[in-house]
Amino acid sequence: MEPVIRGVSYVLVHAPNLLVHYGTTQRLERHKDPDSPYLKDIYRNLRAYDTALAYPPYQTYIGNLTPAELEQVAQPWYEGNKVEPRRFGPYGEILPEDEFYAWMQRVDVFDLVWLEKGFLAEIKDRLGSHPLWTEEDTNILGAGKDREAIVKRLEDGSAVPLTLGDRLVGCVRRAHELDENLKAEVMAENTACKASAVLALRTLLKTNGVDAGEIEYIIECSEEACGDMNQRGGGNFAKAIGEHCGCSQATGSDTRGFCAGPAHALVEAAALVKAGIFKNVVVVGGGAVAKLGMNGREQVAKGMPILEDVLGGFAVLISQNDGRNPIIRTDSIGRHKIGSGSSPQAVMQALVAEPLDRLGLRITDVDKYAVEMQIPEFTEPAGAGNVPAANYRMIAALAVMRKEIERKDIPGFVQRHGLPGFAPTQGHIPSGVPVIGYARDRILAGEMQRAMIIGKGSLFLARMTNLFDGISFLIEANPGLREEEAQVDRETIRRLIAESMRKLAEALLREQEQGGE
């Protein structure tokens, strides 16, 4: 049974105040030099929600612009309102920070997120009009806390703040007095990750008309890890997220692989469906607070605003073949093996050329490649260049070496088979994932035959190895159900009918027995 991509969602959370308090760059700067000019002027260099809403790459991420349309928008993209600032798109939304604080409290089950009474009263009406927010969610929020109680927790060091500019609206409390893995800062990071993932999964279910009860397994693949002092990354984000999305029939686990984590998770999901173990598997990832404002100093130094101001989230539903949705080719998974080598050529050979060779395909047979899709305006000020373009040139150079194209054709190859970067710097988010929704739509419309999703990661960041990492897979147009798959579907239908008849007979028998009494 071939696995298919049945649905995709993408969400962003505008989080400038989380950036100030919890972004790693800002935290380190505060520790090194509390009087830093960068920190002193930081609020002046943050973008307002409406400005972020009009940022062309963000509109592309949630599906209001195609990558081709993004390329036509004049750069620099951060200057001025160059596109319509729409909150909602075909794939998801861009959520404002004040509402996100309510989502953080909503998914907190240990009374760690406290929001101030007046603040909650202000936003409850807006929350009630949100398409994903329910009356139950409002009831769980409660009335909020007194400001004095929040200030007391901040003053005794048992909590960290939630702010909107210079206004204190809440706090996140520590979950243990001594455990470093449950301190307030970590609980804020993990709760933000969980809340953004819940938003992504609820969006996936609603926009694709999927019953939450159909989901049997959840794989969570963000960059965060939750645990305690005895098992720092023990998890389980997956079940914690599914709990707030109505996925009562699902179990799940967490998968980590730095930036390549989502690609690994999608391969695992495809394998579980292919093997017939589960029919519907969700891969979901929430945002990484630590990455907010990561290149902020360099951007400000070049006269730019701090651009890395959103948390990213996504969810992908992998299901059994329905004869319609694009399939994942499980017979040709690209692997960066331990012995592959870490040169750019070796990486592309392992992730691009080798899996295509197994299918007898050329590099030019893939319509679009999805690599590290970072927004160039985020990375260029820090000296990292245009990361997607660099990857596409490497793939093109490999095609030249294989004599599939001429050297003079490299620019044309990049244009035909590449895409502009439109994903925020959230590590796991850019690595192939943002293109899945676009590719699925194009394949369903008959405008594309296949795309390759490439996840790449830097394992050496953990100081456990110098090895690089990567995994890739092909998405292709669905050729339709094979006879044996159609037969399986017929058998499933017969089994469901038989089960329904059995339950009906049992119900009638109970009625007869009760009537006899």
Q: Which residue has better confidence, 317 or 500?
A: 317
In this structure, the answer to whether residues 454 and 509 fall within a common structural domain is no
Q: Look up residue 161 and give its amino acid.
A: P
In this structure, the answer to whether residues 124 and 261 fall within a common structural domain is yes
In this structure, the answer to whether residues 346 and 281 fall within a common structural domain is yes
Whether 261 contacts 221, CB under 8 Å:
yes
Q: Which DSSP letter does residue 285 get?
A: E
Pairing status of strand 217-220 against strand 159-164: unpaired
Report d(CA 309, CA 424) in Å as an integer. 8
Whether 264 contacts 257, CB under 8 Å:
yes
pLDDT number for residue 121: 95
Domain span including residue 461:
3-476
Question: Sign of dihedral through CA atoms 57, 60, 65, 71?
Answer: positive
pLDDT, tens digit, 9 for 90 and up, residues 291-336: 999 999 999 999 999 999 999 999 999 999 999 999 999 999 999 9
Other C-beta atoms closer than 10 Å to the C-beta of 411 total: 11
Q: Which residues pair with 372 in a beta bridge?
A: 431
In this structure, the answer to whether residues 462 and 492 fall within a common structural domain is no
Q: Which residue has better confidence, 426 or 171?
A: 171
Indicate the angle between helix axes 117-128 and 97-107, nearest 10 degrees.
Answer: 100
Q: Which residues pair with 113 in a beta bridge?
A: 172
Please report which confidence band the pLDDT of residue 515 belongs to, taking 50, 70 and 90 as the band edges: low
Is 12 exposed, middle or buried, given 0-12, 13-18 or 19+ CB atoms closer than 10 A? Answer: buried
Question: Tokens at residue 472, please?
Answer: 């890739």
pLDDT number for residue 483: 66
Report d(CA 73, CA 64) in Å as an integer. 13
Q: Look up residue 50 and give its amino acid.
A: D
Backbone φ and ψ for 479, nearest 5 degrees, come out as -80, 0
Report d(CA 311, CA 222) in Å as an integer. 11
Report d(CA 327, CA 349) in Å as an integer. 23
In this structure, the answer to whether residues 431 and 516 fall within a common structural domain is no
Q: Is the predicted pLDDT of residue 248 greater than 70, yes or no?
A: yes
In this structure, the answer to whether residues 392 and 512 fall within a common structural domain is no
> Domain containing 239 — which CATH number?
3.40.47.40
What are the start-end ranges of the H helices in 251-351? 261-274, 296-301, 344-348
Helix/strand/coil for 302: coil
In this structure, the answer to whether residues 121 and 43 fall within a common structural domain is yes
Q: How far is CA 135 from CA 115, 129, 234, in A?
A: 18, 10, 33
Least confident of 59-63, 154-158, 276-280, 459-463: 459-463
Backbone φ and ψ for 9, nearest 5 degrees, come out as -140, 150
pLDDT, tens digit, 9 for 90 and up, residues 343-388: 889 999 999 999 999 999 999 999 999 999 999 999 999 999 999 9
Is 515 exposed, middle or buried, given 0-12, 13-18 or 19+ CB atoms closer than 10 A? Answer: exposed
Report d(CA 233, CA 219) in Å as an integer. 15
Whether 270 contacts 318, CB under 8 Å:
yes
Q: How far apart are the first and last CA of the chain?
A: 50
pLDDT, tens digit, 9 for 90 and up, residues 443-464: 999 999 999 999 999 999 999 9
Report d(CA 440, CA 431) in Å as an integer. 17
Q: Which residues pair with 417 in a beta bridge?
A: none
- The total of structural domains in the chain comes to 2
In this structure, the answer to whether residues 170 and 295 fall within a common structural domain is yes
pTM for the full predicted model? 0.92
Backbone φ and ψ for 176, nearest 5 degrees, come out as -155, 145
Q: Which residue has better confidence, 494 or 415?
A: 415
In this structure, the answer to whether residues 465 and 490 fall within a common structural domain is no
Report d(CA 291, CA 95) in Å as an integer. 18
Report d(CA 251, CA 128) in Å as an integer. 29
What are the start-end ranges of the H helices in 171-320? 184-207, 237-242, 261-274, 296-301
Report d(CA 284, CA 220) in Å as an integer. 5
In this structure, the answer to whether residues 371 and 504 fall within a common structural domain is no
- The H-or-E segment that residue 156 falls in is none
In this structure, the answer to whether residues 510 and 393 fall within a common structural domain is no
Mean of the pLDDT values across residues 146-173? 98
Report d(CA 131, CA 101) in Å as an integer. 17
In this structure, the answer to whether residues 417 and 510 fall within a common structural domain is no
